[in-house]
Homo-oligomer: A and B are copies of this chain.
Amino acid sequence: MAFRLDDTDRKILTELQADASRSLDEIARAVGSSKTPVWNRIKKMRDAGIIRQQTVLLDAEALGFEATFFVLIRTSEHEAEWQRKFLATLRARPEVQEAHRLAGDIDYILKVRVKNARAYDQFYQALISEVRIYNVTALLSMEEIKSTLALPL
Protein backbone atom coordinates (compact mmCIF):
# COMPACT_ATOMS: atom_id res chain seq x y z
CA MET A 1 0.00 0.00 0.00
CA ALA A 2 2.94 2.36 0.51
CA PHE A 3 3.37 4.29 -2.70
CA ARG A 4 6.65 5.99 -3.44
CA LEU A 5 6.19 9.59 -4.45
CA ASP A 6 8.96 11.81 -5.60
CA ASP A 7 9.07 15.55 -5.22
CA THR A 8 7.25 16.23 -8.47
CA ASP A 9 4.44 13.84 -7.58
CA ARG A 10 3.99 15.61 -4.28
CA LYS A 11 3.88 19.00 -5.96
CA ILE A 12 1.30 17.76 -8.44
CA LEU A 13 -0.92 16.42 -5.66
CA THR A 14 -0.60 19.67 -3.73
CA GLU A 15 -1.70 21.64 -6.77
CA LEU A 16 -4.58 19.31 -7.51
CA GLN A 17 -5.76 19.43 -3.92
CA ALA A 18 -5.76 23.22 -4.06
CA ASP A 19 -7.61 23.45 -7.37
CA ALA A 20 -8.37 20.50 -9.59
CA SER A 21 -10.14 22.59 -12.21
CA ARG A 22 -6.97 23.94 -13.77
CA SER A 23 -5.64 22.68 -17.07
CA LEU A 24 -2.72 20.32 -17.37
CA ASP A 25 -0.62 23.15 -18.75
CA GLU A 26 -1.19 25.27 -15.69
CA ILE A 27 -0.47 22.42 -13.29
CA ALA A 28 2.65 21.57 -15.26
CA ARG A 29 3.89 25.15 -15.13
CA ALA A 30 3.16 25.36 -11.41
CA VAL A 31 5.26 22.28 -10.68
CA GLY A 32 8.01 23.16 -13.12
CA SER A 33 7.41 20.42 -15.64
CA SER A 34 5.39 20.01 -18.79
CA LYS A 35 2.17 18.45 -19.98
CA THR A 36 2.95 14.87 -20.88
CA PRO A 37 5.04 13.88 -17.87
CA VAL A 38 2.51 15.45 -15.54
CA TRP A 39 -0.28 13.62 -17.32
CA ASN A 40 1.56 10.30 -17.02
CA ARG A 41 2.19 10.83 -13.33
CA ILE A 42 -1.42 11.73 -12.64
CA LYS A 43 -2.59 8.67 -14.53
CA LYS A 44 -0.23 6.46 -12.54
CA MET A 45 -1.44 7.90 -9.24
CA ARG A 46 -5.03 7.50 -10.31
CA ASP A 47 -4.48 3.88 -11.27
CA ALA A 48 -2.67 3.23 -7.99
CA GLY A 49 -5.61 4.63 -6.07
CA ILE A 50 -3.62 7.49 -4.57
CA ILE A 51 -6.02 9.87 -6.28
CA ARG A 52 -9.39 8.47 -5.40
CA GLN A 53 -11.93 10.88 -6.69
CA GLN A 54 -12.45 14.25 -8.22
CA THR A 55 -15.21 16.21 -6.61
CA VAL A 56 -16.66 19.60 -5.74
CA LEU A 57 -16.83 21.13 -2.28
CA LEU A 58 -20.19 22.67 -1.55
CA ASP A 59 -21.20 25.35 0.94
CA ALA A 60 -23.24 23.27 3.37
CA GLU A 61 -24.69 26.26 5.23
CA ALA A 62 -25.85 27.98 2.09
CA LEU A 63 -27.61 24.75 1.15
CA GLY A 64 -29.47 24.68 4.42
CA PHE A 65 -27.34 22.19 6.34
CA GLU A 66 -27.01 24.36 9.39
CA ALA A 67 -26.33 21.86 12.16
CA THR A 68 -23.26 19.72 12.68
CA PHE A 69 -23.03 17.23 15.54
CA PHE A 70 -20.19 15.10 16.74
CA VAL A 71 -21.65 12.01 18.34
CA LEU A 72 -19.73 9.94 20.88
CA ILE A 73 -21.05 6.42 21.23
CA ARG A 74 -20.46 3.78 23.87
CA THR A 75 -21.91 0.35 23.44
CA SER A 76 -22.00 -2.76 25.54
CA GLU A 77 -22.36 -5.00 22.52
CA HIS A 78 -19.28 -6.26 20.77
CA GLU A 79 -20.60 -9.19 18.80
CA ALA A 80 -19.92 -9.47 15.11
CA GLU A 81 -23.57 -9.42 14.18
CA TRP A 82 -24.31 -6.28 16.17
CA GLN A 83 -21.33 -4.53 14.63
CA ARG A 84 -22.26 -5.56 11.12
CA LYS A 85 -25.70 -4.07 11.54
CA PHE A 86 -24.39 -0.91 13.17
CA LEU A 87 -21.90 -0.25 10.39
CA ALA A 88 -24.47 -0.95 7.71
CA THR A 89 -26.79 1.56 9.35
CA LEU A 90 -24.11 4.24 9.45
CA ARG A 91 -23.14 3.67 5.85
CA ALA A 92 -26.73 3.83 4.71
CA ARG A 93 -27.48 7.10 6.50
CA PRO A 94 -26.52 10.09 4.35
CA GLU A 95 -26.41 12.50 7.29
CA VAL A 96 -23.40 10.57 8.63
CA GLN A 97 -20.41 12.21 7.00
CA GLU A 98 -17.81 10.44 9.09
CA ALA A 99 -17.71 7.41 11.30
CA HIS A 100 -14.70 6.04 13.13
CA ARG A 101 -14.20 3.11 15.45
CA LEU A 102 -12.05 4.26 18.35
CA ALA A 103 -9.57 2.92 20.84
CA GLY A 104 -10.51 3.57 24.46
CA ASP A 105 -13.69 3.82 26.43
CA ILE A 106 -15.62 5.65 23.72
CA ASP A 107 -16.29 3.12 20.99
CA TYR A 108 -17.34 5.24 18.02
CA ILE A 109 -17.41 8.84 16.90
CA LEU A 110 -19.67 10.17 14.18
CA LYS A 111 -19.87 13.47 12.39
CA VAL A 112 -23.47 14.12 11.47
CA ARG A 113 -24.59 16.97 9.25
CA VAL A 114 -28.27 17.88 9.18
CA LYS A 115 -30.56 20.77 8.35
CA ASN A 116 -31.52 21.45 11.95
CA ALA A 117 -31.74 20.02 15.44
CA ARG A 118 -35.00 18.25 14.64
CA ALA A 119 -33.39 16.38 11.80
CA TYR A 120 -30.69 15.29 14.21
CA ASP A 121 -33.27 13.97 16.61
CA GLN A 122 -34.89 11.98 13.82
CA PHE A 123 -31.53 10.49 12.98
CA TYR A 124 -30.87 9.70 16.63
CA GLN A 125 -34.25 8.01 17.11
CA ALA A 126 -33.76 5.97 13.96
CA LEU A 127 -30.29 4.91 15.07
CA ILE A 128 -31.23 3.73 18.56
CA SER A 129 -34.29 1.94 17.24
CA GLU A 130 -32.10 -0.10 14.90
CA VAL A 131 -29.22 -1.03 17.20
CA ARG A 132 -28.72 -1.23 20.95
CA ILE A 133 -26.48 1.54 22.21
CA TYR A 134 -25.36 1.99 25.78
CA ASN A 135 -24.52 5.67 25.89
CA VAL A 136 -24.61 8.59 23.45
CA THR A 137 -23.19 12.09 23.81
CA ALA A 138 -23.96 14.64 21.11
CA LEU A 139 -21.66 17.63 20.75
CA LEU A 140 -23.20 20.49 18.82
CA SER A 141 -20.93 22.60 16.68
CA MET A 142 -21.43 26.35 17.10
CA GLU A 143 -18.83 27.35 14.57
CA GLU A 144 -16.77 25.58 11.94
CA ILE A 145 -13.34 27.07 12.52
CA LYS A 146 -11.55 25.03 9.91
CA SER A 147 -12.39 22.33 7.42
CA THR A 148 -10.03 20.87 4.88
CA LEU A 149 -9.12 17.56 3.35
CA ALA A 150 -5.75 18.68 2.15
CA LEU A 151 -2.92 16.50 3.36
CA PRO A 152 0.36 18.27 4.05
CA LEU A 153 2.58 16.46 1.55
Contacts and interface: CB of A to CB of B under 8 A. Distances in A.
B48 A52 contact: no
Contacts of A109: 70, 139, 141
A50 B63 contact: yes
Q: Counting chain B CB atoms within 10 Å of each CB, which of A87, A96, A149 scores highest?
A: A149
Given A49-B59, A54-B54, A151-B58, A99 B146 contact: yes
A139 B5 CA distance: 30
A129 B49 CA distance: 38
Taking residues whose C-beta sits less than 8 angstroms from the other chain, chain A's interface range is 35 or more
A153 B80 CA distance: 33
Contacts of A17: 55-56, 58
A33 to B, nearest CB: 18
Question: How many copies of the shown chain assemble into the complex?
Answer: 2
A20 interface: yes
B58 A139 contact: no
Given A101-B145, A150-B94, A50 B59 contact: yes
A142 B18 CA distance: 28
Contact of A91 (B52, B54, B58, B145): B145
Contact of A98 (B5, B101, B147): B147
Given A102-B140, A143-B100, A3 B62 contact: yes
Q: What 7 pairs across the A-B complex have the smallest Cβ distances?
A: A94-B152, A99-B145, A100-B141, A21-B54, A99-B146, A101-B143, A53-B57
